[in-house]
A and B are shown apart, each in its own frame.
Chain A
Amino acid sequence: GNSVTQMEGPVTLSEEAFLTINCTYTATGYPSLFWYVQYPGEGLQLLLKATKADDKGSNKGFEATYRKETTSFHLEKGSVQVSDSAVYFCALRMRGWGKLQFGAGTQVVVTP
């Protein structure tokens, strides 16, 4: 079956540090890939997405590139802020009636 694996947290960083959260997937076919963010006490918000190989999604300084050869969709940000503290979820969705399948989530804590 399809699945998403992402690095375990928590990831603790100082403000202005570089952030990478690894995400790899297993899928039969060609999924769309997503990063969602969940701030404390809130629902999930779409951060970025990519629908085909070599697409790069970007938003709010975050980037991720759909790599078919390594089945990966790693999330990066060059300089994090305290306000980036949240749980980040990598997810995939197959075409058609596909459901969103999430990784386990990675908590990121940014300290001043």
Chain B
Amino acid sequence: DTAVSQTPKYLVTQMGNDKSIKCEQNLGHDTMYWYKQDSKKFLKIMFSYNNKELIINETVPNRFSPKSPDKAHLNLHINSLELGDSAVYFCASSQGTSGGDEQYFGPGTRLTVT
């Protein structure tokens, strides 16, 4: 019954490694997002996909690459992990891109890079 799910919930890895975070939504939504929450709780959009097409790509290092195999999934792959990548990453989805559309958030993935 989970609307937006993410795996894994926790991810601890070493600098230089490559890792992926998966996101799935069962709400039938067309649009999905990745947000990063830093240690001070500040939230910032990273990417957004609408019907599997990239529509928002903020200033994010190109070590981060989103992939949307279908409308229900948006994965985030990170190459050559750095200490500064440690954060909580949230996936979200919404029905469309209208200003009033509610975004539903996943539980987050806490990434720790050592």
Contact = CB atoms under 8 A, between A and B. Distances in A.
B90 A43 contact: yes
Q: Is the interface of A mostly helix, strand, loop or mixed?
A: strand
A3 to B, nearest CB: 12
A9 to B, nearest CB: 9
Interface string A7-42: 000000000000000000000000110101010001
Contact of A96 (B90, B99, B103, B108): B99
Interface size range on B against A: 20 to 34
A97 to B, nearest CB: 5
Given A31-B99, A95-B99, A97-B55, A45 B105 contact: yes
Interface size range on A against B: 20 to 34
B83 interface: no
A42 B37 CA distance: 12
Contacts of A44: 43, 90, 92, 105
A61 interface: no
B41 A49 contact: no
Nearest to B43: A102
Given A96-B97, A97-B97, A43 B55 contact: no
A82 interface: no
Contacts of B103: 46, 100
Interface string B61-105: 000000000000000000000000000001010000111111111
A98 B100 contact: no
A51 B43 contact: no
Interface of B: 4, 33, 35, 40-45, 48, 50, 55-56, 58, 90, 92, 97-108
10 contacts: A42-B108, A43-B108, A44-B90, A44-B105, A87-B41, A89-B43, A93-B101, A94-B99, A97-B48, A104-B40
Interface of A: 31-32, 34, 36, 38, 42-46, 49, 51, 87, 89, 93-102, 104-105, 107
Given A43-B107, A94-B99, 6 more contacts: A43-B108, A44-B43, A95-B98, A97-B97, A104-B40, A105-B41
